[in-house]
Structure 1
């Protein structure tokens, strides 16, 4: 069985960090449990010419960033060279899904794997910002490069939503990560054959020790909420942290993720920094920057509570990671995050409701028994949902089913 992936992730010899790590994780699991399944990957990077390479036994084509869906000769060459049984497109973010595979290789089934929805991001683009705060997000960076402003982003998202909906209506075979995504796909393409897949965590999480009440740092909140743009809920978390500090002044907040500096700093991030300064929170908040997998696990295990305040998630890998490690977790009940736990395994709050968020955080920080209970329940729930063998088996069964339908 030969599968050709089109993804925005470049497979590497070393561990990955950042977005899309579940793709690399799935590659690792299929390699472990189904070594006879051959995987090849097509991706894009900063290269001048097409590069064909072998990464951990997998063939990979790295294409220049100038590549477009119109470069049909290139895709024909790759497909003819590899002779895949199935093509899998990871997400609608890149142009992969607009390649006319039905013309290039009409006899090869193509699976569109949904990673998220632009429309769900567009709906919450401005988060809980007031009109005055939205205006204040137009700062130095946005003045020098207007295309980086939230308004410009909104315009691009509108175009992306239209393109994405056309793509979803086009494909006959679609795989989804959650019931929330499945419902959204059904609204656009009720005739599609839909397969329910599972998210692969990185191998380090399967090997890591679990969260321990006696080894964590009390009154430490950890989050990966982006400080660059509003949709990930960082403003809600900052307002919640202000309330937590009022009652528990010893509390610390740690942020992991990309950090912008100088004129590269977005107007939204400047607004967040102003909020932190004006509310006297500067000495209680630390920015850790981008973390590799091992350091990310250490940050999870170090914390007393993990918070994901995002307004739109088609799955939320970070929530899956925190609960798999057993970190007491507070999360927004938004998108598919409600499918990653129950009221017994993590504490939910409604998006934008910073007071409820603060209350949930405080209940964990001040109640050791509750923290342990949530930890145990989250491990039980998440280990079943993200069992590596089951994840690989589910993906393999999708491939087998697609080929079975083709041979009928």
Structure 2
């Protein structure tokens, strides 16, 4: 059986072969691809992978054909050009490009990971075979668009910095871009014959958009680094809080900054660590020119409440550093306005980091409230504060949540179970025609 993957990123084993920096997101692709490749003699699956690249990548610069093809670890891969910086724009020429990839590899099944980029719709159209098209739902742009501002004050939503004006990328414009991306997403899901998901949230969404598609339940395998260690209360930085990112409003960083003064009042050693792009940088002239409206609002919150010594932005973390930060953390917090099944929560739970999360989207399918984590109502930051303090003030509770989280996540993210489930789905699709 020949299976063509369409991914949003260059998978790490391909990036390493090209000497490229590893992308820190969508880490589950590595675990699944490794399993397929290592067991190809028994699973009888020939895998190929295609993914977008920009025009400034040297291999794309030197080759003006529709795609660039090479092989690593016996796996053919195809790079095609796409403006991923502006995913709100649909480029119909991608259909021709992806049709050329399909004609070259002749797949039995096309497996598309995610609906966030217009290449998903282009591939569905280019393949033209819904009964052999499988879309894996990750985040949902159309759902994100509805809650993008995450209760930001209306005046903040309307403000623009110099950077926002030049890039036409203020908060309202960012929200509109998600609306547009959501349109491509809905069209792609409506045209697919098969969909994978893992939460009540994505199942209901998929069935609403395409009641005729076959929904396949499948959990995700996470990054290898998070399977080998465990949280220990004797090794943590007491009263430390960790957010995996806070780059844009739906991630809810502003809500955590709102309650941080109260947490500091309760425990003066409280520290908030935030991974991801440092959008609050404001030291140099270049920083001041580049700061976004949301970044400026976060910076205002920090300065107004004198939080400079209690907030540290870590930048993008490779898996080993993310894992190390998790293990030092007293409370992992996911304050997002919407999530499907965030891998950052899954990774924290795999390690046993006590977790507090907004009860949105599919979170409740990952985390059982008051057993292996604590949930709070998304419109109630004060409840978030109370749940964080419950963990900080009760080591017995923290250790109980930690132990239960590890057990739950070890099953949810079991690499062998998830690999076998993927094979079942592929064979079901292949034999259903």
After superposing the two structures, state which structure 1 stretch, 104-113 or 197-206, moved more: 104-113
Superposition TM-score, scaled by structure 1 size: 0.93
Q: Secondary structure at the match of 1:26?
A: helix
Is 1:321 equivalent to 2:347 in the alignment?
yes
Q: In the alignment, which of 43, 66, 71 is matched to residue 54 of structure 1? A: 71
| CA displacement, residues 288-324 of structure 1 (integer Å, 9 cap, x when unaligned) | 1111000000000011111111111111010000001
Q: In the alignment, which of 208, 213, 220 is matched to residue 199 of structure 1? A: 220
Q: In the alignment, which of 248, 261, 275 is matched to residue 242 of structure 1? A: 261
Q: In the alignment, which of 72, 93, 111 is matched to residue 70 of structure 1? A: 93
Superposition TM-score, scaled by structure 2 size: 0.88
Residue aligning to 1:301: 327
Distance 1:184 1:105 in 2: 23
Mapping 1:381-396, distance limit 5 Å: 381-396=408-423
C-alpha contact 1:69 1:95 (8 A) present in aligned 2: no
Residue 205 of structure 1 and its aligned partner are, at CA, apart by 1.5
Distance 1:243 1:88 in 2: 47
C-alpha contact 1:115 1:177 (8 A) present in aligned 2: no
Indicate how the Cα distance of structure 1 residues 291 and 104 shifts in structure 2: closer, same or farther if over 3 A, else same: closer
Q: In the alignment, which of 20, 30, 47 is matched to residue 24 of structure 1? A: 30
Indicate how the Cα distance of structure 1 residues 104 and 17 shifts in structure 2: closer, same or farther if over 3 A, else same: closer
| CA displacement, residues 74-96 of structure 1 (integer Å, 9 cap, x when unaligned) | 33332232221211111222223
Residue aligning to 2:195: 174
| CA displacement, residues 354-374 of structure 1 (integer Å, 9 cap, x when unaligned) | 111111111111111111000
Distance 1:386 1:192 in 2: 25
Q: Secondary structure at the match of 1:142?
A: helix
After superposing the two structures, state which structure 1 stretch, 334-343 or 86-95, moved more: 86-95
Residue aligning to 1:90: 113
Indicate how the Cα distance of structure 1 residues 33 and 345 shifts in structure 2: closer, same or farther if over 3 A, else same: farther
Residue aligning to 1:190: 211
C-alpha contact 1:198 1:395 (8 A) present in aligned 2: no
Distance 1:199 1:405 in 2: 24
Residue 32 of structure 1 and its aligned partner are, at CA, apart by 4.0
Distance 1:142 1:75 in 2: 33
| CA displacement, residues 80-125 of structure 1 (integer Å, 9 cap, x when unaligned) | 3222121111122222332365665649711122222222111111
Q: Secondary structure at the match of 2:361?
A: coil
Residue 34 of structure 1 and its aligned partner are, at CA, apart by 5.2
Mapping 1:260-275, distance limit 5 Å: 260=279, 261=281, 262=287, 263-275=289-301
Q: In the alignment, which of 228, 231, 244 is matched to residue 211 of structure 1? A: 231
C-alpha contact 2:145 2:176 (8 A) present in aligned 1: no
After superposing the two structures, state which structure 1 stretch, 65-74 or 355-364, moved more: 65-74
Is 1:10 equivalent to 2:30 in the alignment?
no
Residue aligning to 2:50: 42
C-alpha contact 1:311 1:332 (8 A) present in aligned 2: yes
C-alpha contact 1:44 1:63 (8 A) present in aligned 2: yes
Distance 2:258 2:130 in 1: 54
Structure 1: segments with no counterpart, 5+ residues: none
Residue 154 of structure 1 and its aligned partner are, at CA, apart by 2.3
After superposing the two structures, state which structure 1 stretch, 394-403 or 217-226, moved more: 217-226
Residue aligning to 1:140: 162
C-alpha contact 2:95 2:125 (8 A) present in aligned 1: no
Distance 2:345 2:318 in 1: 17
Structure 2: segments with no counterpart, 5+ residues: 55-59, 84-89, 282-286
Residue 225 of structure 1 and its aligned partner are, at CA, apart by 3.0
Indicate how the Cα distance of structure 1 residues 334 and 73 shifts in structure 2: closer, same or farther if over 3 A, else same: closer
RCO comparison, higher one (Cα < 8 Å, 6+): 1
Is 1:378 equivalent to 2:405 in the alignment?
yes
